[in-house]
């Protein structure tokens, strides 16, 4: 027996059980419930909500990728849009021009993005903080320029149109079919990241963020670790880009601008830096909020048509406001908020709060 249950909690009697990812039985139950909800969802949701779920899945993969670099390793990047673009264009061109099957094209595209990430991460060996952010901004600008001017390869400002790939005979760009791929990739990415940060290399990433001098004297090769973080992060960000390419069947530079980079930063900040769960919550909030505001706006428009002209401005303002409110009241993000709720129920009905 690895675990003993008492009224007051769970005691681990072996390291292996304490070091598990989901050590408590209650957490296992929650996991099963979440899995059940994911399986049932596409059968009850309509096309609109399925599409939103797919967007959340893609954003989750991208946000976890960015969080590995920014939240866990402490290297600020404004190049998210560029790396998604590299993933999307590589995946698209590899299937379109080189004729690779999509299941091969996607991993190859991810590897190409990882290599590009490591290359654009080179300035991190000399620069920190805002200076590094500016250097990654250069990556963003270079890639944007290449996308729009390297016409013979990318089609320039014309979008790249892909054939819809098939998944078990069904067209992958249908929301229902893509849902399964999206959910599997998002869950796989989350599991990968959670595992990474309870093992050797993940700890080294965090060590470089917290205290790079101490990391170096305990034997962490700081330069190598930073580049590895750029590569790992970009691999996943490239995956998110490739997912967009095959879901939309269209790769267009407008999806991968500096604004994309900023929106993804907003996701991980609102969700929680250095948290896998936070990456998902932030991705969900930032993806769903505009949709929610839209729906409310439409309802308002029906009852008060004279306000219609104002709506687009109000929508932007509300979006910004929600983010600011978050930063002020819970700077550690949705992930912390969720933790608080959990703690509350953990000891319910006794009103005792941890720390």
Partner 1 sequence: MPLLELRDLTLRFGGVTALAGLDMEVRRGELLALIGPNGAGKTSVLNCISGLCRPGSGTITLHGRDGERHALHRLPPHRIAALGVARTFQNIELFRHMTVLENLMLGRHLHMRGGVLAGGAYLGRQRRREIEQRRQVEEVIDFMNLEPLRNQVVGQLAYGAQRLVEMARALTLDPALLLLDEPTAGMNAEEKESMARFILDLHEERGIAVLVIDHDIDVIMDIADRVVVLDFGRRIGEGAPAEVRADRAVIDAYLGRAPNGAGD
Strand, helix or coil for residue 82: helix
Q: Which is nearer to partner 1, 54 or 225 (CB)?
A: 225
Q: Which is nearer to partner 1, 141 or 343 (CB)?
A: 343
Interacting residue ranges for partner 1, rule: CB under 8 A = 15-16, 19, 21, 192-193, 195-196, 198-204, 206-207, 210-211, 213-222, 228, 232
**Cβ 72 vs Cβ 256: under 8 Å:** no
Q: Which is nearer to partner 1, 49 or 192 (CB)?
A: 192
Least distance (Å) from partner 1 to the CB of residue 234?
Answer: 12
Which run of H or E residues covers position 166?
strand 166-167
Q: Which is nearer to partner 1, 22 or 166 (CB)?
A: 22
Least distance (Å) from partner 1 to the CB of residue 231?
Answer: 8
Least distance (Å) from partner 1 to the CB of residue 226?
Answer: 13
Least distance (Å) from partner 1 to the CB of residue 65?
Answer: 12
Distances (CA, A) of 225 to 70, 157, 215, 242: 14, 36, 10, 25
Least distance (Å) from partner 1 to the CB of residue 131?
Answer: 21
Q: Which is nearer to partner 1, 146 or 222 (CB)?
A: 222
Backbone angles phi, psi at 5, to 5 degrees: -105, 130
Radius of gyration of the chain (CA): 22
Name the CA dihedral angle for 283, 284, 287, 292, rounded to a multiple of 10 degrees: -150
- Closest to 233 in 3D by CA, of 205, 203, 254: 205
- Closest to 283 in 3D by CA, of 82, 31, 63: 63
Q: Which is nearer to partner 1, 222 or 291 (CB)?
A: 222
Which run of H or E residues covers position 19?
none
Least distance (Å) from partner 1 to the CB of residue 204?
Answer: 6
- Residue 311 and residue 302: Cα distance in Å, rounded? 12
């Amino acid at each position: 027996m690895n675990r003993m249950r008492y009224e007051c909690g769970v005691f681990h009697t072996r390291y292996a059980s304490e070091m598990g990812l989901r050590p408590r039985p209650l957490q296992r139950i929650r996991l099963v419930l979440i899995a059940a909800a994911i399986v049932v969802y596409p059968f009850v949701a309509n096309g609109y909500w399925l599409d939103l779920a797919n967007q959340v899945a893609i954003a989750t993969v991208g946000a976890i990728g960015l969080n590995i670099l920014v939240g866990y390793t402490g290297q600020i990047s404004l190049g998210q849009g560029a790396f998604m673009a590299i993933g999307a264009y590589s995946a698209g061109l590899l299937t379109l021009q080189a004729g690779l099957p999509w299941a091969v094209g996607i991993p190859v595209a991810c590897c190409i993005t990882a290599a590009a990430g490591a290359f654009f991460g080179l300035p991190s060996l000399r620069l920190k903080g805002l200076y590094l952010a500016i250097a990654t901004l250069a990556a963003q600008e270079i890639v944007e320029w290449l996308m729009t001017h390297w016409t013979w390869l990318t089609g320039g400002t014309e979008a790249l149109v892909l054939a819809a790939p098939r998944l078990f005979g069904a067209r992958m760009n249908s929301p229902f079919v893509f849902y399964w791929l999206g959910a599997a990739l998002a869950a796989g990415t989350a599991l990968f990241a959670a595992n990474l940060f309870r093992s050797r290399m993940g700890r080294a990433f965090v060590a470089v963020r917290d205290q790079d001098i101490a990391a170096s004297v305990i034997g962490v090769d700081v330069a190598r670790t930073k580049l590895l973080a750029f590569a790992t992060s970009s691999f996943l960000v490239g995956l998110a880009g490739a997912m967009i390419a095959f879901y939309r069947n269209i790769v267009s530079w407008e999806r991968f601008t500096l604004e994309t980079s900023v929106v993804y930063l907003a996701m991980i900040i609102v969700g929680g830096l250095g948290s896998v769960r936070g990456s998902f919550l932030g991705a969900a909030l930032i993806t769903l909020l505009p949709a929610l505001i839209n729906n409310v706006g439409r309802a308002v428009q029906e009852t008060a048509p004279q306000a219609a002209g104002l709506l687009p401005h109000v929508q932007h303002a509300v979006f910004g406001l929600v983010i600011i409110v978050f930063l002020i009241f819970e700077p550690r993000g949705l992930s912390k908020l969720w933790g608080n709720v959990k703690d509350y129920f953990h000891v319910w009905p006794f009103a005792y709060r941890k720390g």
